[in-house]
Chain A
Amino acid sequence: MSYLWEQLRAAVPLIWQGNGYIWGVTWVTIRVAAISTTCALVLGLPLGLGLGLGHFRGRRALQLLANASLALPPVLVGLFVLLLLLPPSLLGGLRIEFTLTGVYVAQTLLALPYVVALTPAALRALPPGLLDQARAFGAGRVAVALLALREARIGVLAAVIAALASTLSEVAAVIIVGANVENHDQTLASAIVSQLNDFDNIPYALAIGVILLTLILALIGALTAIQQRGRGFALRVPAR
């Protein structure tokens, strides 16, 4: 136990006194989490609403596909993104392989299935009469979609929480697409992997681990608090 204690004692000053490397990694992680979750929401919410509310051919097949994509290993998502981004390939002209921009893209694609698959599940749980009533009162598509989002906000927030958690904790896509370059596109999670390659750096890995855990608890705790309060407060809907 004394060994663990020793390592932990060495890690504490790295957190308190602020280590340039660790703050850099933390800042990159916050940017990746914010940008990728936002992009996943912007792309995924319309898709999720379409799947949840739409009546069209192939809707069930698309829902099945969205659910299946939740089980897709991050390693494979990373592999496909990298193969598309390498110079001889389709999107090779963008030159964003092994850059932070590439990491944003990979983490967005990883977070997307959570939003697309879990939003329709939340909408499906709404009382069936509610949306029909809104339609009968002449609500247009946009108004119905807004109403559905508002009513299913607890489930939609759960989807956001899942998406955010995946952008914070996944490493495979970051290592593959970003190459885990120190001081450039490392996230807290992928930095732990690279620090543990050297036994002398265990205190760094521990300090980074503590910060990652704190960040996850703070962000997910805050979103969960909003979710639980969301039961009570009413968002304004524009009068029709």
Chain B
Amino acid sequence: MSFLWHELRLAVPMIVHGNPYLLSIIWFTVQVAGIATAAATAIGLPIGVALGLGRFRGRRVLIWLANAGLALPPVLVGLILFLLFVPQGPLGGLRLELTRQGVFVAQAVLALPFVAALSAAAIMGLPAGLLAQARAFGAGPVALAALAVREARIGVIAAVIAALATTLSEVGAILIVGGNVYGYDQTLASAALYEVDAASFADALAIGIVLVALIVVLLGGLSLLQERGGGIRWRFRPLS
């Protein structure tokens, strides 16, 4: 036990005194989480709403695909993006390989199935009569979608929480697409891996403690919003 204790005692001052290396990783991790989750939500929520509400051919196949995307290993997502981003690859001209922008894209792609599949599931769980009634009263597609998202907000926020958790804790895609470059495009999770490889256990522990704190704060905050969301009244424009 004294070994763990010893490493922990070395880790604490690094956090308390605000090591600049640590601060830069924290800032980059917050950027990754914010940008990737926002992008995944902006793209995934319309897809989720369409899958949940739509009546079109191939809807079931698309739902199955979104669900399968949840089980896709991050390393495979990383492999596919890597092949697209290498200089000779189809998207090589974008120069995303081994860059911060590449990490944003990788984590957004990883988070996308969570938003799309889980918000679709939340919307499909709404009472059938509710949406039929809105349709009968003449609600257009946009009003219907807004109503569905509002009513399914607890499930939709759960989808965003899952997406955010993925962007914070997954390393497989970052290792491959970003290259885990020291001092440049490391997130807290991939930096912890890097420090363990270098046998700098105290640094890894310090990074790990900060990562847990960040996850608790961000996910806890969203969970509180979700609980309160049961009561909050969002403004809603009258239908027609």
Q: Which residues of A contact B (CB under 8 A)?
A: 1, 3-4, 7, 71-76, 78-79, 82-84, 86, 88-90, 92, 165, 168-172, 175-176, 189-190, 192-193, 196, 199, 202, 205-206, 209, 212-213, 216-217, 220
Contact = CB atoms under 8 A, between A and B. Distances in A.
Interface of B: 1-4, 7, 68, 71-76, 78-79, 82-83, 86, 88-90, 165, 168-172, 175-176, 189-190, 192-193, 196-197, 201, 204-205, 208, 211-212, 215, 219
Given A4-B83, A83-B3, A171-B171, A76 B193 contact: no
Most buried by A among B83, B86, B211, B212: B83
B75 A171 contact: yes
Contacts of A79: 192, 196, 201, 204-205, 208
7 contacts: A71-B169, A73-B168, A75-B190, A75-B211, A76-B192, A78-B196, A83-B7
A75 B208 contact: yes
Contacts of A84: 4
Nearest to A71: B165
Nearest to B196: A176
Main SS of the interface on chain A?
Answer: helix
Contacts of A74: 169, 171
Given A3-B89, A79-B196, A172 B189 contact: yes
B172 A189 contact: yes
B230 to A, nearest CB: 18
Contacts of B204: 79
Contact of B73 (A83, A189, A202): A189
B171 A209 contact: no
A89 B89 CA distance: 47
A12 to B, nearest CB: 15
Given A71-B219, A175-B197, A196-B78, 17 more contacts: A1-B90, A4-B89, A71-B215, A73-B189, A73-B215, A74-B171, A75-B190, A79-B192, A79-B196, A79-B201, A90-B4, A92-B3, A169-B74, A190-B75, A192-B79, A206-B79, A216-B71
B82 A196 contact: yes
Contacts of A75: 169, 171, 189-190, 192-193, 208, 211
Most buried by A among B73, B83, B193, B197: B73
A209 B77 CA distance: 10
B90 A4 contact: yes
Given A73-B169, A79-B204, A176-B193, A169 B82 contact: no
A84 B197 CA distance: 16
A212 B172 contact: no
